[in-house]
Amino acid sequence: MEDPSKTRGSWLERLSAFLLREPEDREELVELLHGAFERHLLDAEALGMIEGVLSVGEMTVRDVMVPRSQMDVIRCDEPIERFLPLVIDTAHSRFPVIGSDKDDVQGILLAKDLLRYFHYPKTFELKAHLRPALFVPESKPLNILLRDFRATRNHMAIVVDEFGGVAGLVTIEDVIEQIVGDIEDEHDLDEVDDAIVPVRGNRYRVKATTEIADFNAHFGTAFSDEQVDTIGGLLLSKLCHLPKRGETLDIDDLRFTVMRADSRRLHLLLVERLRPDAARDGDAA
């Protein structure tokens, strides 16, 4: 049996040899990385993440923040019965708590701390459960913000403008999404109308519940829907077991990667065209 450490070493040696020539600038570095991808030294996911890391170093908080007008906030003088529907409807894990207006941020409420209210409703005090708010300027580089998030273990920061007013908020998820692409939880999946969403390169995020007829129409494929109705069902019929996250399967010119699944069903797939010209052929059809 082949030693996995030797395989890893061989992969690193090949990649290092390819990048041996030091690039002169960022554009040349990206060109080298794309060359490594074409030579199968990097897969599409790794290439996309490396490009995301490079872009984070050139972006600021202003580029990714949620603007002030779109902030979901809780007023500190509101009774919990009044703001609880907002917590449930938005499904956020953290909320800025304000005083007179959005410039008066008094702290951050973690949604999980509301469990204490249901256990001790008569003694629960909102202000006693607020976490200190982290304030950052709009001009702060994203890579520095990510480092600060890790150091302080904060997941949200309030963004302020040059005059000290609140301009918006930013979360660690907003930063990480610049590296790995959109992060969607189960609530997000329910809210998204599009079953097929393009991402970087020739890749698409596809809901496992997408009907095969709709999938065929989009990708120009001819999968049969006589035995199963959805693309997730098609994968299950091919694999004969419930796959875990990260498991892949190639069918014709498409590679399916499981992005999200639980113990009972598939939720989200990453579909990649293995032959880029197939996209042009399908579009022309």
Mode of pairing for the β-strands spanning 203-207 and 135-137: unpaired
Q: Give 194-203 pLDDT, tens digit per residue.
A: 788 887 667 8
Decide: residue 126, CB within 10 A, 0-12 exposed, 13-18 middle, 19+ buried. buried
Three-state DSSP class for residue 282:
helix
Q: Give 75-116 pLDDT, tens digit per residue.
A: 999 888 888 888 887 888 999 999 989 999 999 999 998 888
Least confident of 60-69, 141-150, 245-254, 272-281: 272-281
Assess whether the region 62-180 and the region 196-273 belong to the same CATH fold: no
Decide: residue 151, CB within 10 A, 0-12 exposed, 13-18 middle, 19+ buried. exposed
CATH number given to 196-273:
3.30.465.10
Checking if the pLDDT of 189 tops 60, the result is: no
Q: Where are the domains positioned within the chain?
A: 62-180, 196-273
36 vs 25: CA distance, rounded Å? 17
Residues whose CB falls within 8 Å of the CB of residue 267, separated by 6 or more in sequence, listed in order: 186, 189, 207, 208, 259, 260, 261
Instruction: Find the DSSP H helices in the chain.
Output: 4-18, 26-38, 44-56, 61-64, 80-90, 115-119, 142-152, 172-180, 186-191, 212-219, 231-239, 276-284
* Share above pLDDT 70 across residues of the chain, in percent, rounded to a whole number: 79
Checking if the pLDDT of 128 tops 80, the result is: yes
CATH number given to 62-180:
3.10.580.10
Checking if the pLDDT of 51 tops 50, the result is: yes
Report pTM. 0.55
Question: Closest Cα partner for 241 from 260, 266, 215?
Answer: 266
Q: What is the mean pLDDT of residues 161-185?
A: 80
